[in-house]
Amino acid sequence: MMNMRRASLLAVAVCLTAATVLMGQEGAGTQPMAKPLNQFTIGDLFPKLDLGLDQTASTWKTATGEYQTKAAAREKAVMDGIATVKQKSEQLKAEAKTAQKNKDFTAAGTAEGKLKTEETVQKVLSRLQGLATQQKETAEAWNRLANAMSAFVQADKDFDVYRSKGIAKPESAAGGSAGSADTRMDAAGVAAFQKHTATLDALGKGFADLGAEIQTLSSGRQKFLSELEKGGHIQPPVK
């Protein structure tokens, strides 16, 4: 199960990465902005992002692959445990029934006591299964975010070739001389920008989805702890 410290570190990493994206995309840097229109470039309007995001995407992809594997194994272990406990419970029920039929009340009491214990274990494992599934869903959301981040980095690189383009319309020819060259971004550049924006939107959705999954996991863990306290499985907190 992902511990609280890891969840907190992940939340911090998400916030820092989001800040990197925003500063990299909207920060104008040190370039002067008070200049003639024909000196403005697409790069002045949409500057290159911080390259640290590229390494973050790579690191998160590796980490999420490991996380998904462990989360899936955790869920399977819990489900296998539930199946084993159910099988034991059915066996103990049969033993208790046979003992009662034979009027062996000692054996019947022993079997019923063990059955009660197994039912308690099954209840705990059933609750744990929900957390294990949520952990797996959190891992999947984190992996999707890593992939969305990688796609955004690539789209930003693809758009890079158009950042030197201008935004001023070419001047008309005067006195029969040739007019100024058209240095504006072409249709291919617009398409690259639209892809860039779409990947940024997907990145934002990835952050939101991961945050929601972490909150759901955190809430489920707290509820499980409260149930353990109510059942007397842990010592009550000092008040």
The answer as to whether 91 is a domain residue is yes
Provide the token pair at 79: 């489900």
Provide the token pair at 55: 């390494």
- Length of the chain, please? 239
The answer as to whether 178 is a domain residue is no
Alpha-carbon distance values, 132 to 3, 198, 199, 212, 228 (Å): 12, 32, 30, 16, 16
Lowest mean pLDDT segment, chosen from 13-17, 75-79, 95-99: 13-17
The answer as to whether 105 is a domain residue is yes
Domain count, the chain: 1
**Residue 184's beta-bridge partner residues?**
166
The pLDDT of residue 7 is 47
Residue 142 is which amino acid? W
The answer as to whether 111 is a domain residue is yes
Q: How much is the pTM?
A: 0.77
The answer as to whether 90 is a domain residue is yes
> Which band of pLDDT confidence, cut at 50, 70 and 90, is reported for residue 2?
very low
User: Distance between CA atoms of 144 and 135, rounded to whole angstroms?
Assistant: 14
Provide the token pair at 202: 């997907």
pLDDT one-digit tens code per residue, 153-169? 999 999 999 999 999 99
Report the CATH number that the domain containing residue 189 is assigned in CATH: 1.20.120
The answer as to whether 27 is a domain residue is no
Q: What is the DSSP string of 84-143?
A: HHHHHHHHHHHHHHHHHHTT-HHHHHHHHHHHHHHHHHHHHHHHHHHHHHHHHHHHHHHH
Structural domain of 64: 43-166+184-230
CA angle 145, 45, 49 (to 5 degrees): 35
> Which band of pLDDT confidence, cut at 50, 70 and 90, is reported for residue 141?
very high
